[in-house]
Amino acid sequence: MLQNLLANLPTDTDKEHFEDLLSAKHLRIERIVSYGQTSPDSFWYNQDEHEWVIVLSGCGTVEFFDGQEHILKCGDFLNIPAHTKHRVSHTANTEATVWLAIFYQD
């Protein structure tokens, strides 16, 4: 069935929205829609899977535990190895930031 990642975005801007698009044994593809949400202070993702993430609209900043920060704009992507502590420190609050995240294992 044909679908569009930028269509039918959630209208509730008070929270971040996570939607699994595809899930298999060692692979999960997720659409994330943010409306200014960020990771809580002092919270760090520390995932068992690798994460490849791209911003499809809006913008966001991914901060790493070692102090590195990457500002992602439309079309920018990162590959985050498993157990690399990271957090989202900023997302656009004037428009939806739409992320596509692919979680995978070796």
Q: In sequence order, what are the beta bridge partners of 34? A: 97
Provide the whole-model pTM. 0.94
Q: Where are the domains of the chain?
A: 17-104
How confident is the model at residue 61, as a pLDDT? 98
Q: What pLDDT score does 8 carry?
A: 95
1/81: higher pLDDT: 81
Which pLDDT tens digit goes with each residue over 3-12? 999 999 999 9
* 3-class DSSP string for the chain: CCCCCCCCCCCCCCCCEEEEEEEECCEEEEEEEECCCCCCCCCCECCCCEEEEEEEECEEEEEECCCCEEEEECCCEEEECCCCCEEEEEECCCCCEEEEEEEECC
- CA 58 to CA 98: how far, in whole Å? 7
For position 44, what pLDDT does the model report? Answer: 98
- What does the pLDDT look like over 28-81, one tens digit per residue? 999 999 999 999 999 999 999 999 999 999 999 999 999 999 999 999 999 999
Distance CA 74, CA 98 (A): 9
> 17-104 domain in CATH 3.30.450.20?
no
